[in-house]
Structure 1
Amino acid sequence: MGSVAHKDSAGILSKDGENGVDSSKNLDAGALFVLKSRGSWLHCGYHLTTAIVAPALLSLPFAFTLLGWSGGVVCLIAAGLVTFYSYNLLSIVLEHYAQLGKRHLRFRDMAHDILGPGWGRYFVGPLQLGICYGAVIACTLLGGQSLKFIYLVSTPNGSMKLYQFIVMFGGLTLIMAQMPSFHSLRHINLVSLVLCLAYCACTTAGSVDIGHSKNAPKRDYTITGVGLDRIFGVFNAISIIATTYGNGIIPEIQATIAPPVTGKMFKGLLVCYSVVIFTFFSVAISGYWAFGNQAQGSILSNFMVNGMPLLPKWFLLITYVFTLVQVSAVTLVYLQPTNVVIERKFADPKMGELSIRNTIPRLVFRSLSVIVATTLAAMLPFFGDIMALFGAFGCIPLDFILPMVFYNVTFKPSKRSLTYWGNTAIAIVSTMLAVVGAVASVRQIVLDAKTYKLFANM
């Protein structure tokens, strides 16, 4: 007997049958064209790894300077365990609804169905879109900085400015952003996985080599800052680590998996966190060991002193190239929520994906979104401070709080159970960290305001 598909008030496809999202005519263009459900658990692992294991992890040694050895290692382990648990909970909730015949393809759809329409439309949807687009701006800035590093290593007295390299990177993104669906990035994200392993191995080897060389800096592991500065520094470091583990697009990644989805996301998480363990801990520990509390915002900056490289130029160039190419893949991943909105607003699901009717709006509006992100990255080269604020306001709610709430509301575990109180405790502590982290981030922005300058050559 045939199954019946229909769409509910949230625009979520419902179907009488397991995990089915087969009646594509009932999906809006954003879900139909961008979030195609054709991938395997291995593809899911590639997407997850690119979304989490990004060049932002190169700031982990700097976070250790604010926490010290014990605090840094404890926070790194705790954040890893909590995010793995959180993402798995989110996946379980998604699988539960898929088995009921109502598969959620977007974070906002989950919030709409579990917490109510207002949560999806006015809180989760805008928050996720803002965080992901902010990540695109930050990645564009990082890509430009990587290009500039490559330029300075090969041409130490070069006169080109940072904003010129940002525009170059934006041009590359402009071309790659036209790839039609999230699923179409699977091979790029496999290359991204290999590259993140490569540049983290290079970074670790470089730190160890410098630490053992005659040019090794004098190492001091005392925590920087005193009094209030030290307290706020601790919360800044926690925000950095939380943001590094942050994702914010778990439902969209799970949406790329072909039905049935049961158990596949967990396998993808195992692939991702195998890479996380190697990369995060090797970079954080080796970088902090080599440079102590002199570790900079990106540990790669410590590889050059007064414009002079501490390692062979070819080694630095390879490391920067690996980082540059990988950050381009990360940029594409975090463009997907924006692409979903663009397709939903301007594409016609009744026409073919590659029809003239849909191709022209896709080309125009995706290009506009990349141009705006590139312009903002060039104008605001201090965007890292702003992203710390976004991380406190966005990454912590999406990755540490909402999954706990979704699980408790969906499955209603006994209030006497460890699961209920564990989830509740994580949500409460994360809320407190988000508030204090936001205050600390705003304070840091105020302190750094005197260095802010549009189109600065940083």
Structure 2
Amino acid sequence: MLAVAPNSVTESTTGKEDAVLHPPKELDAGALFVLKSRGSWVHCGYHLTTSIVAPSLLSLPFAVGLQGWVGGVVCLILAGLVTFYSYNLLSMVLEHHAQLGQRQLRFRDMARDILGPRWGKYVVGPLQFGICYGAVIAGVLLGGQCLKFIYLLSNPNGTMKLYEFTIIFGVLMLFLAQIPSFHSLRHLNLVSLFLALAYSACVTAGSIYIGFSKNAPNRDYSVNGSQENRVFGAVNAVSIIVTTYACGIVPEIQATIAPPVKGKMFKGLCVCYAVIFTTFFSVAISGYWAFGNQAMGTILANFMGNQKPLLPTWFLLMTNVFTVIQVSAVTVVYLQPTNEVFEKLFADPNQDQFSNRNVVPRLFFRSISVIVGTLFAAMLPFFGDIMAILGAFGFIPLDLIFPMVFYNVTFKPSKRSLVFWVNTLIAAASSVLSAVGAVASVRQTVLDAKTYRLFANI
């Protein structure tokens, strides 16, 4: 499903991406140093894939279990189609403004230029900053969980706690956080793409092996719980699935593309979604088929079994190594909006990026950012709940509501046109979903908070 951008650029500028209809704005240090526009559409595909195809996809069997076969698979398909359409709309709006000589490099820039300065400063900016930093916290937590799995495989009676592994992973992120720009991550994100394919293949193969083994767990595909819990569970599942498809940094990724940008983002999205449909559906369907409604928040926990691992140790070790390396790449990608804000506030654009004047504050503030995120991850080991909250409060508005509004305001399609009503319907439905999802996710977090304590070893 693609929207076609109206021909809103005059003939004298059509096809001339860099035609300056408005004076170009002087770049601040955040845009100049972190969001360097030097990449190709291939690099864009790497960045998009890493930002979306993350270890959060390992929670998809759990989400499908909250809805059942029909609801879960339909939700997976619809979320994929709608998010691809939404990201394509964002790309066309960005390309339109670039043709006018007003290239927007950040989500808050789009909101400011299209909806007004208050929207960018007080709504979209803080919202994006919050969800990206929340994704960093979730990434550090998942990295710690993977390290703990690896530890228990080699030392089943080990006494180290989850928060200790979370801190170890946080130390790794201290080093990766110093990578200077988003564009500098292109090679790391290429490796990340292959790692995502690798651990998804491992999880799929492991689920099929367990499902056909003589010790296969009893499978129940019914949706458990009271009517109230089923409703809230289904809404919570939608939030998890939408968050798994979510990106939240499409403008920043498109900012890394060297001009002219026209058509490049669409190619990058095609690369990304080819990987998405390969990994998401294979993991979700095989994991739910193997474990039914007993699928846990991350399917790797099911592989560990109740008393002993259900798969060979070497296989589980390999899967977790692939996962922990890839989650480090995902985490550093979602650090970029935070890094960009720090560069804008504390770096000097008139001096070299690697001068002492700019290196010292960069090292200090990025390190503080990782340390604080690691502390929160160690304190709050509720990975599934974090995913649901991020989806309801942040990713749904950024990825499913604002793109529709931006497109309709920018191109002003006729109110009789299909694209206007499709966009309006998606925005309205997503608003309802965000509100209900927020209630459901907070409710589930409150329930889990009665079970877990700070720095819990789960």
- Normalised to the residue count of structure 1, the TM-score between the two structures is 0.95
- The alpha-carbon deviation at position 205 of structure 1 amounts to 0.1
In the other structure, the counterpart of 1:109 is: 109
User: Counterpart of 1:291?
Assistant: 291
Partner of 1:308: 308
| Correspondence for 1:138 | 138
Give SS of 1:350's match.
Answer: coil
Closer/same/farther in 2, CA of residues 218 and 276 from structure 1, 3 Å limit: same
CA offset digits 1:132-179 (Å, max 9, x no partner): 000000000000000000000111001111111111101110001101
The alpha-carbon deviation at position 19 of structure 1 amounts to: 3.7
Mapping 1:226-265, distance limit 5 Å: 226-265=226-265
Counterpart residue number, 1:323: 323
Distance 1:297 1:18 in 2: 46
Instruction: Provide the rounded CA distance (Å) in 1 between the counterparts of 2:312 and 2:384.
Output: 28
Amino acid in structure 1 at the alignment position of 2:86: S
Matched, 1:125 2:125: yes
Contact 1:24 1:32 in 2 (8 A): no
- Secondary structure at the counterpart of residue 268 of structure 2: helix
3-state DSSP class of the match of 2:66?
helix
Match of 2:395 in 1: 395
Deviation at 1:381, TM superposition (A): 1.3
Amino acid aligned to 2:301? S
Q: Partner of 2:48: helix, strand, or coil?
A: helix
1:443 positional shift: 1.1
Q: Secondary structure of the equivalent of 1:180?
A: coil
**Counterpart position of 1:355:** 355
Question: Is the Cα contact below 8 Å between 2:17 and 2:262 reproduced in 1?
Answer: no
Structure 2: give runs of 5+ residues left out of the alignment: 1-15
Change (3 A) 1:194 1:20: farther
Corresponding residue of 2:17: 18
Give the direction of change, closer, same or farther, for the CA distance of 1:384–1:20 in structure 2 (3 Å limit): farther
Residue 445 of structure 1 deviates from its aligned partner by: 1.5
Give the match for residue 45 of structure 1: 45
CA positional deviation for 1:446: 1.9
How far has the Cα of 1:226 moved from its partner? 2.3
Deviations 1:392-430 (A, max 9, x none): 010000000000000000000000000000000000000
Q: Which residue of 2 aligns with 1:12?
A: none
Which deviations, in whole Å up to 9, do the C-alpha atoms of 1:226-245 show, x marking residues without a partner?
21111111100100100100
Q: Which residue of 2 aligns with 1:5?
A: none
Provide the C-alpha distance between the structure 2 equivalents of 1:136 and 1:307, rounded to a whole number of angstroms.
Answer: 32
Kept in 1: contact 2:138–2:386 (CA 8 A): no
Contact preservation (8 Å) 2:141, 2:378: yes
User: Any conservation in 2 of the 1:65–1:224 contact (CA below 8 Å)?
Assistant: no
Shift of 1:92: 0.3
Q: Does 1:54 align with 2:64?
A: no
Counterpart in 1 of 2:36?
A: 36
* 1:216-272 deviation digits (Å, cap 9, x = unpaired): 011111112221111111100100100100110000000000000000000000000
Which residue pairs with 1:218 in the alignment? Answer: 218
Amino acid at match of 1:34: V
Change (3 A) 1:311 1:418: same
Cα deviation for residue 450 of structure 1 reads: 1.1
Shift of 1:390: 2.4
Once the 2 structures are TM-superposed, how far is the Cα of residue 307 of structure 1 from its aligned partner?
Answer: 4.2
Q: Secondary structure at the match of 1:223?
A: coil
| Contact 2:297–2:384 (8 Å) recurs in 1 | no
* One-letter amino acid of the structure 2 residue matched with residue 357 of structure 1: R
Query: 2:166 matched to 1:166?
Result: yes
- The separation in 2 between residues aligned to 1:24 and 1:377, in whole angstroms, is 41
Q: Following TM superposition, where does structure 1 have runs of at least 4 consecutive aligned residues deviating by more than 6 angstroms?
A: none
TM-score (norm 2): 0.95
Q: 1:38 to 1:317 in 2, by over 3 A?
A: same
The amino acid of 2:370's aligned partner reads V
Change (3 A) 1:301 1:274: same
Deviation string for 1:115-143 (max 9, x for gaps)? Answer: 00000000000000000000000000000
Q: Pairwise CA RMSD of aligned residues?
A: 1.3
The residue that corresponds to 2:374 in the other structure is 374
- Give the AA of the match of 2:194: V
Counterpart in 2 of 1:339?
A: 339
Classify 1:197/1:20 alpha carbon distance in 2 versus 1 (closer, same or farther; 3 Å). farther
**2: CA distance, partners of 1:387 / 1:207:** 23
**Higher mean C-alpha displacement, 119-128 vs 436-445:** 436-445
Distance in 2, matches of 1:225 and 1:97, equals 50
Q: Which residue type is aligned with residue 294 of structure 1?
A: Q
How far apart in 2 are the matches of 1:179 and 1:25? Answer: 26
2:408–2:420 Cα contact (<8 Å) kept: yes
Corresponding letter in the other structure for 2:449: A
What is the distance in 1 between the residues matched to 2:391 and 2:227? Answer: 24
Query: 1:455: how far off?
Result: 1.1
Change (3 A) 1:40 1:456: same
Task: Find the aligned partners of 2:71 and 2:306 in 1 and give their Cα distance.
Answer: 31
Unaligned runs of 5+ in 1: 1-16
Shift of residue 18, structure 1, vs aligned partner: 2.6
- Give the conservation status (yes or no) of the 8 Å contact 1:20–1:259: no
Contact 1:19 1:102 (C-alpha < 8 Å) held by counterparts: no
For residues 383 and 208 of structure 2, what CA distance do their matches in structure 1 show?
Answer: 30
Q: Map Cα deviations across residues 298-339 of structure 1 (whole Å, 9 max, x no partner).
A: 011111112411110000000000000000000000000000
Structure 2 equivalent of residue 422 of structure 1? 422
Q: What is the one-letter code of the residue matched to 2:277? A: I
Q: What is the distance in 2 between the residues matched to 1:48 and 1:20?
A: 27
* Partner residue in 1 for 2:154: 154
User: 180-189 or 218-227, which moves further after superposition?
Assistant: 218-227
| Alignment size in residue pairs | 441
SS in 2 for 1:309: coil
Q: CA deviation at 1:25?
A: 9.0
**Does the aligned pair in 2 maintain the 1:20–1:103 contact within 8 Å?**
no
Q: Deviations over 1:26-63 (max 9, x none)?
A: 21000000000000000000000000000000010011
Cα distance in 2, alignment partners of residues 24 and 342 from structure 1: 23
CA contact (8 A) 1:138 1:384 kept: no
Q: Percent identity?
A: 74
